Amino acid sequence: MAKDIGIDLGTANVLIYAVGKGVVLNEPSVVAIDTKTNQVLAVGSEAYRMVGRTPSNIRAIRPLKDGVISDFDITEAMLSYFISKLNVKGFMSKPNIMICAPTNITEIERRAIIQAAEKSGGAKVYLEAEPKVAAIGAGMDIFKPQGNMVIDIGGGTSDIAILSLGDIVASKSIRIAGDELNASIVNFMKNEHGLLIGERSAEAIKIKIGSAFPTDIAENTMEVRGRDAVSGMPRSIEITSEEIEPAISNIMGQIVAAAKEVLEVIPPELASDIIDRGIMLTGGGALLHGVDRLFTEQLKVPVVIAETPLDNVAKGAGILLEHIGETGKQGKRGDN
């Protein structure tokens, strides 16, 4: 028998949940190819180690951009590799796949995701809205007649949704998330310190000393190495959390503004439920220092960070697959 799988096809990472086993794979969404032969050389963690360090004929590609497929063939190759690595196919059967997508994608983008999953070895492929699945994975009971709010900050998109009776009442998906934070840090280092750094260094700065809220982390310092923008020579400098806070707050402010927009359009009864129940933060962005305090202060509503923010979408997809009889037909979307 094939094991059914839930996939969080993220811009930064792919996570796969096997029914009955839990999250069985978590690897970067990166594929290294030889541009001369178009051959896939490495996928996932192995390919990520090559980012910024490859000779001219090898390209490390991220086939998803802003939560959607930007390179179909590479996405299919990546998914096929991950699925075959798991050995979830049965002798005669293929796994059913539940895959997640941002709430505002187009019909063409939806079809591309379903097709990539089918071609990589799925029997039936179901598509669900990411914030709905994330809320289920975070342990929220979204099937009762009460308002639940989830903010899912991923790599390529931030999805904000209000859920009630198992469906999305209001939502917004913006293409501003972890990748934009990294880009903002890269620009900050270049403009303020004349130091050129790569995406991986920016990610390390964000994780180690990044803060969404001016707090006691302000004393944290970190040595950053890169290339001097003027001389072109290697150089290292010390930076503090306080220094890079403006680079982070600019991006986080846009996510807060999107959350306010969603709250402004919901019925008063749901708004009152959310004041009672609070907001659930999930996705990799939920791990940014002080992010819960920022949202609490700006939205005037209690904010809770999910227990395993990185796993919630994959987990929720697995839970929905286990109850597939109730979740509807192929390609069903969780938004209105």
pLDDT digits (tens, 9 = 90+) for 146-182: 999 999 999 999 999 999 999 999 999 999 999 999 9
Report residue 5: phi and psi, to 5°.
-130, 145
Compute the distance between CA of residue 239 and CA of residue 190 in angstroms, rounded to an integer: 13
Q: Is the pLDDT reported for residue 293 higher than 90?
A: yes
2 annotated to a ligand binding site: no
Is the distance from CB of 7 to CB of 79 less than 8 angstroms? yes
137 annotated to a ligand binding site: no
pTM of the predicted model as reported, rounded to 2 decimal places: 0.89
154 annotated to a ligand binding site: no
156 annotated to a ligand binding site: yes
Reported in sequence order, the residue ranges of the chain that DSSP labels E, i.e. its strands, are 5-9, 13-18, 22-28, 31-34, 39-43, 58-61, 64-65, 68-69, 97-101, 125-129, 148-153, 158-164, 167-174, 195-196, 221-228, 234-240, 279-282, 303-305
Within 10 A of 251 (CB to CB), how many other CB atoms are there? 21
3 annotated to a ligand binding site: no
204 annotated to a ligand binding site: yes
Residue 333: pLDDT band with limits 50, 70, 90: very low
129 annotated to a ligand binding site: no
243 annotated to a ligand binding site: no
Closest CA to 262 of 292, 236, 295, 234: 295
Residue linked to tokens 């904000």: 160
Instruction: Kindly state the average pLDDT of the residues 106-115.
Output: 92
pLDDT digits (tens, 9 = 90+) for 183-234: 999 999 999 999 999 988 999 999 999 999 876 554 588 999 999 999 999 9
170 annotated to a ligand binding site: no
The dihedral sign for the CA sequence 56, 112, 8, 277: positive
Q: Is the pLDDT reported for residue 20 higher than 90?
A: no
pLDDT digits (tens, 9 = 90+) for 220-272: 889 999 999 999 999 999 999 888 988 999 999 999 999 999 999 999 999 99
Is the distance from CB of 157 to CB of 129 less than 8 angstroms? no
> What is the full DSSP assignment across 180-247?
HHHHHHHHHHHHHH-EE--HHHHHHHHHHH-BSS--GGGG-EEEEEEEETTT--EEEEEEEHHHHHHH
Residue 91: pLDDT band with limits 50, 70, 90: low
pLDDT digits (tens, 9 = 90+) for 306-327: 999 999 999 999 999 887 744 4
Domains and CATH numbers, the chain: 5-132+312-327 (3.30.420.40), 143-176+250-305 (3.30.420.40), 178-247 (3.90.640.10)
285 annotated to a ligand binding site: yes
327 annotated to a ligand binding site: no
Structure tokens at 104: 């505002």
Q: What is the pLDDT of residue 213?
A: 87
Q: Is the pLDDT reported for residue 336 higher than 60?
A: no
Q: What is the pLDDT of residue 3?
A: 79
Q: Is the pLDDT reported for residue 330 higher than 70?
A: no
